[in-house]
Amino acid sequence: MNRVVVAAAVGVLLSGCSVSIGFKPPHFTPAPSPSPSPTAPLQAAPSSLHPGEVESGYVPVALSATGGVPPYTWSVAGGALPDGLTLSSSGSLSGTPSKGGAFSFSLQVADSTGTLATRAGAIKIAPSLEGVLIPACAKFCSVEVGCVNVCGAFGLLTGGTAPFTYALKPGGLVPAGTHLNGFSLAGTFTQKAQFFQFTVVATDAFGETATVTPTFYVFAHLTLAGGTCSTTFYISGCSASLAYGGGSPAGLPKVQSISASGTLCLPPNYTCPSPDNTLPPGLTATVSQGVVVIAVAPAGRPGFAYNGNIMITIVDSSLCGASSQCSATSTVALSIGLG
């Protein structure tokens, strides 16, 4: 029976007719591509989060990660970045800080499979750099000739990030005998009765600057003239007016000390010992505007005799050195007779 069918089919082919015998290949479903496998666990790599300063552009920091399956996506997981800083999804931390303080936060990185890793972060933001005059120099700094260093401070620096450098703005002139030392002048003020104005520029580690422009008035050093106080008879007493000048314009000077080098002859025999530092009885020193009056009050009998020198030192309100007021000393020749 099969032979007959085959023969018929062959006969048909030979007669010029074509017969199509359909054939459907079997269906195969392609296997899915395997997901990439991480070679190492995802980790947020350490990176240097440097300090910053208010109003100073923060040098960008590029965060990085290792392991997992790139690409990575970054975000802030907790806490808060310093005001003014932002973190991009690619891990770039940048911006301009607008508020000082210490900021703590946590950063999170996610890989393409959704795996997460975190790292802690902290950034300190310094206040912006500012310079101001001290109250004593709000109008101008008053300094007496002869002052050494202690009267040279004129400004205060706040905020910013150390180290700081200071420079005199070109064209400025500091008082003679001094040189710049931060927001202060060091040295000895040697030039009197003159105003000096100059500008100092302070620069911090971030290149931010602050300027202070003080004015110094350097006035003449305190002076005190000498004199003579003499009488031939102790019952008359004597006085001498010693002129003083210069010094601080704020208030009258004060008598700091009085010493003697002479001979005091006392009753009953009025013998005169070797010169010593004994002051004559009734000696006073009084300060008034422009003068210091040295006086020996009249003495009653039996009286005394004196011959020698009186040294008087006056001080004003200016500091000429550490714990040392500006001063002037003069000598008065003192002679008291027995009549």
Q: How far apart are CA 158 and CA 309, in angstroms?
A: 54
Contacts of 253 (CB under 8 A, 6+ apart): 222, 244, 247, 287, 292, 314, 315, 316, 328
Does 330 lie in the same domain as 247? yes
Please say whether the beta carbons of 79 and 102 come within 8 A.
Answer: no
User: What pLDDT sits at residue 272?
Assistant: 85
Does 161 lie in the same domain as 208? yes
Does 187 lie in the same domain as 211? yes
Q: How far apart are CA 202 and CA 207, in angstroms?
A: 9
Please say whether the beta carbons of 147 and 188 come within 8 A.
Answer: yes
Domain boundary residue, one of 74, 106, 126? 126
Q: How far apart are CA 329 and CA 294, in angstroms?
A: 13
User: What pLDDT sits at residue 80?
Assistant: 96
User: What pLDDT sits at residue 203?
Assistant: 98
Give me the amino acid identity at 319. L
The total of other beta-carbon atoms located within 10 Å of residue 144's CB is 25
User: What pLDDT sits at residue 25?
Assistant: 54
Domain boundary residue, one of 72, 96, 126? 126
User: What pLDDT sits at residue 2?
Assistant: 42
Does 276 lie in the same domain as 214? no
b/e map 105-120, b = 16+ CB within 10 Å: bebbbbbeeeeebebe
Does 230 lie in the same domain as 329? yes
User: What pLDDT sits at residue 250?
Assistant: 84
Does 149 lie in the same domain as 98? no
**pTM metric for this prediction:** 0.71
The total of other beta-carbon atoms located within 10 Å of residue 90's CB is 11
User: What pLDDT sits at residue 214?
Assistant: 96
The total of other beta-carbon atoms located within 10 Å of residue 9's CB is 12
Which residues of the chain fall below pLDDT 50? 1-21, 23
Contacts of 131 (CB under 8 A, 6+ apart): 155, 156, 157, 158, 183, 200, 202, 210, 211, 212
User: What pLDDT sits at residue 21?
Assistant: 46
CATH number at residue 331: 2.60.40.10
Domain boundary residue, one of 126, 148, 169? 126
Domain of residue 193 covers: 130-219
Number of domains, the chain: 3
Does 91 lie in the same domain as 139? no
What is the dihedral angle through the alpha carbons of 296, 301, 307, 313, rounded to the nearest 10 degrees?
-20
12 within some domain: no
User: What pLDDT sits at residue 95?
Assistant: 98
Does 122 lie in the same domain as 134? no
Does 201 lie in the same domain as 137? yes
Give me the amino acid identity at 128. S
Please say whether the beta carbons of 291 and 226 come within 8 A.
Answer: no
